[in-house]
Amino acid sequence: MIPQYLLSVDFHPYQPDFHQDSEPLLDWSLWEKYRSEVVHPCLTFKPENISLAKRNMEKFSWARNYVTNLERTAQHYLELTDKSTLESLIEATTPGDPLWTPCPACRDQGKPVHPHGLWTWDIQSPDQLECTECATVFPNPSYPESVILQTTWGNPQNISYYGGEPFTIFGFTQGRPSFTANIRSRKVQWCAGFARLLAEVYILTDKALYAEACKRILLRLAACYPHWLVHVGYGEYADMDPKTASLHISRLPQPELTPPPNKPDGALWTGFWSAGRASGVGLESDFIRKVVEAYDMTASARDRNGIRIYSEEECILIERDLLLESTILLVCDKKMNNKSVSNRTAVALVGMCVGHPGLFRFGLEGFYKTINEWFLPDGTTSESIFYGLMTLGGIWDFAEASKGYRDPVGYTDDSGTRIEDLNVYTQTGYDKILEAFFNGLQGDLTYPPYADSFHGLILDPAYVDLMVANYPANEQYLALLKEVCGKDLQVPSGPVNPMYFEDDMESFFLMTHELPYDLARPNSPSSFSLFFRDPDLVNLKTSRLQLQDWCPPKLRIGHMRTGADGRESLLLLSASEWGIHHERDSLHLYYWKNGVELLPDLGYLWDHPLKQNNIRTLAHNTVLIDEENQKTQGRGGTVTFFHSSPHVKVIEATSTAYDKGLLYRRTSALVDHGGGKNYAVDFFRVEGGHIRDYVLHAPGLEYATEGISFEIEEGSLYDLRSIQKAEGKQVWKARWPAGKGMVCTFWGLGSQDEKIFLARGWGQLDWKNSDVGAENIYLIRRNVGGELKTFMSVIEGSYSGENFIRSVNVIDREGIIAVETTEGTDYIGSAFGNGDSLISYSIGPVQLRGRFSVVSLLEEDIKWTMEVEAEP
């Protein structure tokens, strides 16, 4: 169980004064005292997991194929572990980082230049880097690294940089790429990944040669790592003892090395956020988690004669000079963010592996703070789905490795407490987080790309394997696993992605190998199926996978669905507050149906120089006031009501996204008649400001309109092009292809005070520039004047020629419309005025009442009704 004091969100153990020259966790005496009590393997793959893997190998061909392919990969690269080769792959000079390396050749050729560059690297040609955009290979005599900085601490090193015109790399205005430092980091990361692969092959085959090869890599790393300097990806190095640099990273006792024309300022740029020793991205954990698992899986290895592969001296050397040494930088960082959570896990893994309970507690505190402070109280992500998955990738192995953890015999911490039989799956709120990731899926089992998230993002099947293994009572988790891996579970899960790292995106996307095993990832496809999946699951019957309507109270994003299993369509309205990795998208509406986006979200451009075009308010389906972006700080959001019924799912939300917005309220609903016959209805009320623009985006440039006549507009409109303008007095509609044969039809219920604009604008989705110049249609309904305005709209997704809606009419501009369908007429009412004046409206036999109401009429007979009543 977890000691009570570690459950306090206000507790900060080991917090040093900024100016002190010590840190309790830099004392490794607990390791000396307790290291002999550790029984390996003890981390993510324990003896019971290895036994499970061998049962799967006996039963399933996919498991046997996985191990065969894994061993083939190990054999393919085994020769690279000889002493001389390892000395060239793992250099004594400090590595840089795979990022922060813009390409000067692209700049010279007038191509888009990403601040991190777009590179390929291959172990077959380990000393060169190729730009994917211009195919220039580096190092390159046309772009020599003529700027050289010399270090003095420890073993003197030469750090070289490109000597031409500097780059602006984010806020670092005189950045100089170092192609050789980039390459050094890639070689080191590859070796760490290969060591872990070799270790996994060993525990699956019991062949000593793989453990011996793994040991050679770890010993070479242990020889180099203590001499690698603390540095940041921007190319600044602390030329001093790493302990001193780690304790005073933002106020160094002597000037840092920084490439000219920069001047030293006694701090590493961005501090811990982009600091490391094996890398410079702020995620030293990526390296540490690979090597600590590699050591854990092989530390007790023996050859065919029963002789230990590792001598006691070699164990001490690796534990001290590689594993413990790697924690120095990390234990000095006390902040919690989407990087440090992973670093804390790495420290805990080292603590468990070498027998240091203080290091384990540092990681445990980080885990608890992550699930209780970084994640929201309802289990949802505090940033975005993408960064939520990244953060989950930073803690999953802590949860697995710590199962059953108990402190060394005789150990108690400073409070006199011991940890016994830990299980964070059941003893913390971790279950809410995993459940929230399940609940947030859309019908195709990807995530909607709101905030800073990418299109096509998935809940990695490997996570689902862990969810099934640890929460067997939840049948929906097994139903999801069988959906993604096949009912017979013959398809193994893919890789869990602990490399969902903000500033290591290029490594995740580009450092891949067309071989059976991807060395860029700590765990390869199907390893989770092998080690965590009970082979008897295949015989269990499950209920049908179903996704529910969902509006988590702290996230404040309503998920409204149609279909018998909730997978046919998703209407999403966001009322989330502003925060890190959020966008200017308050009351943004996203509509997905049958695999396509009817009302799309442009998604995330990561660190692209033009990413603001995807973040700005104009990039979202919402309302702009006075052509300005929504504010950030102080932007609140409130869900007024969320109601789900068999035929209608509705949400109403308000926001303070504009100071001049006296009212900013949206009411959006899905009306469902079953069998794919459904549509969305939208009431957006805004008061204040002068110009109010209701904005929608069509994916692509094809469209057609009816009931409205456009003419060329000579004036400007934001940064849009090919602008057309029309009067929007009446009901009109626009249609556009959304993909996969689906057509979106939008009905604008106009009024005398509206102008309509159609224009072309920014539509790029890919941060790697594969779609440079992409444009979308922007549809804007404009109202001028500060009085209350209600924009009313209806949106239908249907296949060509199969429209369910025949016509849409305004009954009362306060908020009553009629939607005539092939199955009758739906009367829909939203509370009048500012949305607080309850409906009490009669239309023949139809009675609309309450906050929101729908009555479906077939001829004179009422088929069904739905009403959101007044608040008590």
Please give the C-alpha separations between residue 76 and each of 193, 297, 517, 780, in angstroms, as whole numbers: 14, 21, 11, 58
Predicted confidence at residue 517, as pLDDT, reads: 39
Which neighbouring-strand residues pair with 749?
Answer: 731, 792
Question: Which of 20, 27, 94, 25 minimizes the C-alpha distance to 247?
Answer: 20
Six token digits for residue 65: 């194929």
- Residue bearing the bigger pLDDT, 492 or 298: 298
Q: What is d(CA 151, CA 93) in angstroms, rounded to the nearest whole number?
A: 10
At 22, the pLDDT band (50, 70, 90 cuts) reads confident
Q: How confident is the model at residue 527 (pLDDT cuts 50, 70, 90)?
A: confident
Q: Report the run of H or E that residue 34 belongs to, with start and end.
A: helix 29-34
Question: Three-state SS for 725?
Answer: strand
Residue 300 phi, psi dihedral angles, 5° rounding:
-100, 15
| Token duo for residue 127 | 């000393």
Angle formed at CA 755 by CA 752 and CA 756, multiple of 5 degrees: 130
Structure confidence at residue 523 as a pLDDT band (50, 70, 90): very low
Strand 596-599 with 678-687, pairing: unpaired
CA distance to 496, 708, 757, 827, per residue, from 790 (Å): 46, 20, 18, 17
Cβ atoms of 143 and 165 within 8 Å: the answer is no
| Amino acid at residue number 811 | I
**Which of 299-303, 531-535, 868-872 bottoms out in mean pLDDT, i.e. has the lowest?**
868-872
Confidence of residue 508 (pLDDT cuts 50, 70, 90): very low
User: Based on the number of CB atoms within 10 Å of its own CB, is 255 exposed (0-12), middle (13-18) or buried (19 or more)?
Assistant: middle
Q: What is the pLDDT of residue 519?
A: 42
Centre a 10 Å sphere on the Cβ of residue 101 and count the other Cβ atoms it contains: 32
Per-residue pLDDT for 17 more than 80? no
**φ, ψ dihedrals at 216, nearest 5°:** -60, -40
Alpha carbon distance 699, 707 (integer Å): 22
What does the pLDDT look like over 622-672, one tens digit per residue? 999 999 999 999 999 999 999 999 999 999 999 999 999 899 999 999 999
Beta bridge partners of 795: 680, 746
pLDDT on residue 6: 53
User: E strand or H helix at 288, and its extent?
Assistant: helix 284-298
For the chain, the average pLDDT equals 92
Residue 613: pLDDT above 50? Answer: yes
Distance CA(175)–CA(162), nearest Å, equals: 10
Q: Which of 769, 778, 784 is nearest to 720 (CA)?
A: 778
pLDDT at 21: 67
Mean pLDDT of 462-491: 93
Residue bearing the bigger pLDDT, 508 or 262:
262
Domains and CATH numbers, the chain: 4-460+495-517 (no CATH), 557-805 (2.70.98.70)
- Per-residue confidence (pLDDT) for residue 488, from 0 to 100: 87
DSSP readout, 380-406? --SS-HHHHHHHHHTTHHHHHHTTT--
Confidence of residue 4 (pLDDT cuts 50, 70, 90): low
Task: Check pLDDT > 50 for residue 524.
Answer: no
Q: In angstroms, rounded to a whole number, what is the distance separating the alpha carbons of residues 348 and 25? A: 12
Concatenated DSSP letters of 830-861 = E-BTTTTB-EEEEETTEEEEESEEEEEEETTE
Determine the residue type at 685: R
Band of pLDDT at residue 694, cut at 50, 70 and 90 = very high
What's the gap between Cα 507 and its chain centre? Answer: 15
The mean per-residue pLDDT over the stretch 208-232 comes to: 98
Q: Tokens 């003892």: give the residue.
A: 241
Q: What is the pLDDT of residue 526?
A: 67
Dist. CA 726–CA 549, nearest whole Å:
38
Per-residue model confidence as pLDDT tens digits over 751-762: 999 999 999 999
Q: What is the pLDDT of residues 439-474, one digit of tens each?
A: 999 999 999 999 999 999 999 989 999 999 999 999
Taking CA atoms, 197 is separated from 88, 157, 508, 517, 638, in Å, by: 20, 31, 17, 8, 49
Task: Count CA atoms closer than 13 A to 38's CA, side-chain side.
Answer: 28
- pLDDT at 503 exceeding the cut of 70: no
CA–CA dist 350, 295 (Å, integer): 10
Q: Is the CB of residue 292 less than 8 Å from the CB of residue 349?
A: yes
Task: Dump the DSSP string for 449-507.
Answer: --SS--TT-B--HHHHHHHHHH-TT-HHHHHHHHHHH-TT--SPP----TT--GGGHHH
Residue 20, pLDDT above cutoff 80: no
Mean pLDDT for 534-562 is 95
In whole angstroms, what is the distance from residue 742 CA to residue 716 CA?
32
Across 142-151, 225-234, 863-872, least confident range = 863-872
Are 734 and 703 in contact by the 8 Å Cβ rule? The answer is: yes
The lowest-confidence range among 487-501, 523-537, 843-857 is 487-501
pLDDT in tens, 139-159: 999 999 999 999 999 999 999
Q: How far is the C-alpha of 730 from the C-alpha of 732, rounded, in Å?
A: 6
Average pLDDT (840-858) is 94
Contact 515, 76 (CB under 8 A): yes
Are the beta carbons of 440 and 390 closer than 8 angstroms?
A: no
25-69 residue pLDDT tens: 999 999 999 999 999 999 999 999 999 999 999 999 989 999 999
